[in-house]
Structure 1
Amino acid sequence: MTLAFEKYSTTINDGLSLIQAKFDQQEKVFYDKCDVFDSKLAEFIAEKDAVNAMKDQLQKMIEDFRSQINKESEKEKQKITNDCTNVLEACNQRMGEIKTDVITFLKNCQEQNLDIIEKIPEQKRKFSWKDVMIYAVCGTSLVCNVIQIFMG
């Protein structure tokens, strides 16, 4: 029985050794795969951090760009407003000068016309109704045009 027991014991020990070797081999494979997984996870985390850093950098660039565009557009708006204001002021000043010149011209025209009419001899100063109408229409038309210039 001892011999059978030893043979049985050796077979069992060999089987257990084989099972232990398989477990050790699988444990080594498992740990190797865990090490690979850990290194891949570390790479993934590093890449994720790099992507997040780039995302933050891009977001800051976009915000800076928008801020710069807003500043520049505000500057351009102010320039245009100032230019328009200057042009309008110049036009208003010039309009006052033109208005004064036109009124002076009309007053002088009236005096010059009276001077010319007074120099014409009495018999030639007599107008027909037709002449009076033409003079009235032309004078009214000229005054209306001047009024339209200033009112329009």
Structure 2
Amino acid sequence: MNKKIHIYTDGSSKGNPGPGGYGIFIETFFGHLYNRKIISEGYRYTTNNRMELLSVIVGLEEIKNKKQNIVIFTDSKYIVNTIQNKWIYKWEKNNFRNKKNVDLWKRFLYFFYKHSIMFYWIKSHNSHYINDYCDRLSSIASQKRFLKIDHVYEQQI
């Protein structure tokens, strides 16, 4: 029996840049067994693209075993296009010269090479119940009283 892992992600920021957050819904299927995990976090000053990418990274960090088959569902064209159009390989070869969010792309690649990952784009705010749930999680996380600091982003501005 093969294990299947689905990771649904969303990220947002109010003001872009501004307070932001991410929401993640992970579901794991193993035969008749099913497990789910929900994660969200907020940051005091960040961008939408950083939160979209960080949500994917944090979701992948939750997968402890190597060489897993993972499907990531996201409404971020920024991420999907970068992977599906294979821009990521050119960016990596050029050491991400003139690219934004280099810290996160490098962190992403560590997990990208550990697993077999497929990306599916979901149209946002289109009544996909898990994507809508992740959107609510990210929004609520960005409104918490105590928000994390996106140190790399805040040092760059």
Q: Same fold (TM over 0.5)?
A: no
The TM-score with structure 2 as length reference comes to: 0.17
The TM-score with structure 1 as length reference comes to: 0.18
**Larger RCO (alpha carbons 8 Å, 6+ apart):** 2
Larger radius of gyration: 1
Higher strand share: 2
Higher helix share: 1
